[in-house]
Each structure stands twice: as structure tokens, then as C-alpha cells.
Amino acid sequence: MRLGHCRFPWVVLALSLGLAGAAFAQAAPGAGPIRLRLAELHPDDHPTTMADYEFARLVSERSGGRIKIAVFSGSVLGQEISVLEQLQFGAIDIARVSLTAVASYVPPLVALEMPYLYKDEAHMWRVLRGDVGRELLASVKSAGFVGLCFFEAGARSFYNSRRPVRSPADLAGLRVRVQESQLMADIVAAFGARPLPLAFGETYSALETGRVDGAENNLPTYLTSLHYRLAGYYTLTRHSRIPEMLVGSQRSLAVLSASDLALVAKAAEDVVEFQRAAWRQYEKDSAETVAKSGISFIEPTSPGAWKALAAKVYESQPKDIRAIVARIKAVQ
């Protein structure tokens, strides 16, 4: 469904799920609050988790306590693939997950994973808050999900335990953990490394045992995952900006009335600025903490060489993905 220029996407969300009238059961009077579970990969002090708690607070406050969301952080409900499977059949109600994981169910989202896609962070948010972002957020309905909002996840860069990486030639041959995504494997391979798809929770032990030489991720996650203790060379390639997503289970959220689903979706939209502010501060604090540990940040040489290799990934994409990419690049 194309959302066009709708100024109130949470209302369209409710209507797109066919929630008008008595389509969904409502809690009986005096039956107590509706309780929902939210799965989160990161620990409590991570910006996305902080936003999860703020989202839960807003929902409780605005519903007068009728809707309660419990946040389960630190992967206690499983890794992302397992969480999304549980989300589909309603064992988990809401999850904060990487867009890459959702893209395995909703192929058009692959367009947002492309390397060197945006001019900068501001450009990315103009895209996400515009027609393209609204359409892609709504597209997760096809997989049994409810798209609630995008979260900031910063720029991803390479880090490794072997040597300083300044050019693609320095990355050649290194075994690099990637998310469980063919596109992410293709991107890393295009730069000359050897990609190894692994669940995020397996990365620390893989670095510790030498199964992989490095990985790629944003700076706050490099810190909170403790990867900086094992892989001390962090190269600021900033090769991709991939937002994270807050998504719900269509099956689980069927307990909500249309107005309550609109309330939940509006709370998600309203928490985005909280999350972005928390992210900016945490990114700054993370850089200072990592630097104090003795880690040096490496600026890559010849940025054009990295972008030239990334261009090969674009050429291999299907026509529909290239069409979305063209729309993204046209956003001013």
C-alpha cells in the first residue's frame, strides 16, 4: 500500500490492518490491563533500549494504564531471527530489531541497506520521514508485522584484531562477521574481505576464538558488545547507515481496538526524537570511552576507492530495488 503524503501514518496504519469496527476483540471491562512483551537485543543502557522503555511509558500514560508493555532487553527472548519468527505467530508482541533482519522477510527493505546510500544522517531521515520511508514501513504488513517506526543506528564501520585498515587492500582476506543477510555478505566481499554470517550474540566468542578477524557495526554497539576489547583497530569507513525498526505482531496486536492501535503507533512515532537524542549523546560518550581504552580511530584513505567497489553491489540488484534507490537519491 502506498501511503503518499498522509500526515497521520498511525491512522493509516490502523485502517490498513482493517481494524475498524469490531474486527479485534477488546478487553472486557474490569479485566485488567492488556500486557504486551517487547523484545530487545541490546542492554538497558543502549539508546534503543532506553527508547523502548520510554515508548512503554508513553503507551501506559496515554492509555491510562490500560496497556502495559514490558521490555525484555539483552536478548533474553532470543536472537533476531528467533524473535521475528515468534513475532509472526504472536509469541512476542513487539520487537526492536535491525532492518536487515526484517528485510529477509520483506525484500523491498533491502534498498535501505545499500552502501554509501545517503549524503548524511539528515538525508537519511528526510527519506525515512517521506513517502519512501512511509511506504517501506507499511510494507512489513506482508510478512505479518506492524511497522511502528524507524530508529537511528548511526554509521557502520569496520573493526578488526589484525591490522590497521586504511584502504580496501588492507581489508583483503580478513574474515569479517556480517549480519545474516546475503546483501551484507556481498557488500563485505566487494571490499575484499571474507564475510562470515553470524548472529550478533555469537560475534564476541567468534572474535575471542579467532573464528573471525573482525566485524562491522556502529560505535555504540562496538562499545556495549565489548568487541573493542578484542578488535582494537576501528576504521571509520561509515560505509552504511541502516536504521533499526520497531515492529509489532499483527496477530498479537489484534487484541487492540483501532483507537488503541493508533495510540501505540503514535507513541512509537513520538519516541523517535527521544531515541535520536539519546543516540547522539551515547555515540559521543562511546567515542570518548573507547578512546580512553587506548583504541585509535583510523580514517580511511581514498574514500573514492571504497565507493567505487560499493558500486558493484548496486549493479547486481534487481530492478525494483534500483528503482527505490533512485527515489532515495532524488530526495533533497
Return the H-helix or E-strand segment holding 97: strand 94-98
Q: Which CATH number fits domain 10-21+30-151+243-285: 3.40.190.170, 3.40.50.300, 3.60.150.10, 3.20.130.10?
A: 3.40.190.170
Average pLDDT over residues 57-71: 98
Residue 95 pairs in a beta bridge with 39, 247
pLDDT above 90: residue 92: yes
Asked whether the beta carbons of 1 and 16 are under 8 A apart, the reply is yes
User: Which CATH fold would you assign to the domain 156-241+289-318?
Assistant: D-Maltodextrin-Binding Protein; domain 2 (3.40.190)
* Contacting residues for 78 by C-beta, under 8 A, at least 6 apart: 39, 86
Strand bridging mode 244-249 / 145-151: antiparallel
Kindly tell me the number of DSSP H helices and DSSP E strands found in the chain: 13, 11
Model pLDDT, residue 15 = 33
Q: How many CB atoms lie within 10 A of CB 282?
A: 22
Average pLDDT, the chain: 90
pLDDT above 60: residue 4: no
pLDDT above 90: residue 154: yes
pTM, full prediction: 0.84
- Intrachain domains 10-21+30-151+243-285 and 156-241+289-318 with the same fold: yes
Orientation of helix 258-292 relative to helix 9-16, angle to 10°: 120
Poorest-pLDDT segment among 1-10, 162-171, 223-232, 258-267: 1-10
- Domain-wise residue ranges, the chain: 10-21+30-151+243-285, 156-241+289-318
User: pLDDT digit string (tens) for 280-332?
Assistant: 999 999 999 999 999 989 999 888 999 999 999 999 999 999 999 999 999 98
Model pLDDT, residue 30 = 57
1 versus 147: which is more confidently predicted?
Answer: 147
